[in-house]
Amino acid sequence: MRVKICGITKLEQGDAIAQMGATALGFICVPSSPRYLSAAGISAIIQRLSHQVDCIGVFANTTVAEICQTVSATKLTGVQLHGNESPEFCQELRQCLPGIEIIKALRVKTNECLTNSEIYADSVDLLLLDAYDPTQLGGTGKTLDWLRLQEYKPCLPWLLAGGLTPDNIMNALSLVKPNGIDLSSGVERSPGDKDLDKVAQLFTKLQQTEQLLLNTSSSL
């Protein structure tokens, strides 16, 4: 399972999180966000990471040119689109950034949002389902309706986001089976300041969940 910890702002925290087992680190490229990091700041962290890990830039409602410029300056391995980007926009970005993973975040407000995810089937590599908030694009701490997601039939691999914490991750994964998870506020002391104890607790809970699933399957 992919584990993405988003909103990294400090090298020592990003490096420690990668060492704990995260498969991806997320960097917020939205200037209005309290977790925002400049291209120079992102590049400084990526260049000094001691562990190989996917590095994802999170953008919202900006231009293809701006995204491409940031990717070039930072050596990001992926781009997450967290705004109102259309499939056509995603396709144009994919053509401009061959070899870069494209993730489309969907802020799920209604069941229609889940049904409409199919329109991105040919233009992105991965979907991310996040909780809807009228004023914030992400990092809200709000959870999705996991029971509703049990009937979600994805057209692409997908990540579960939205209010996940070490305390609720086992419950979430007992109800839904995403290809990965994405956490930000659930492992923070404050926006952009990760709590490494909480991150360690998360990986402990993930190991327990994996063992529980193995025990369950072996008893069937």
SS3 content of the chain, % helix, strand, coil (to 5): 40, 20, 40
Q: Both ends of the chain: CA-CA distance in Å?
A: 22
CA 69 to CA 54: how far, in whole Å?
A: 18
In this structure, which amino acid lies at residue 53?
V
Catalytic, 195? Answer: no
Catalytic, 193? Answer: no
Of 15, 29, 130, 182, which residue is the catalytic one? 130
Lookup result for tokens 């994919």? 94
CA 30 to CA 20: how far, in whole Å?
A: 27
CA 208 to CA 113: how far, in whole Å?
A: 32
Of 6, 29, 55, 90, which residue is the catalytic one? 6
**What pairing do the DSSP bridges indicate for beta strands 54-59 and 126-131?**
unpaired
Could you give the residue numbers annotated as active site? 6, 130
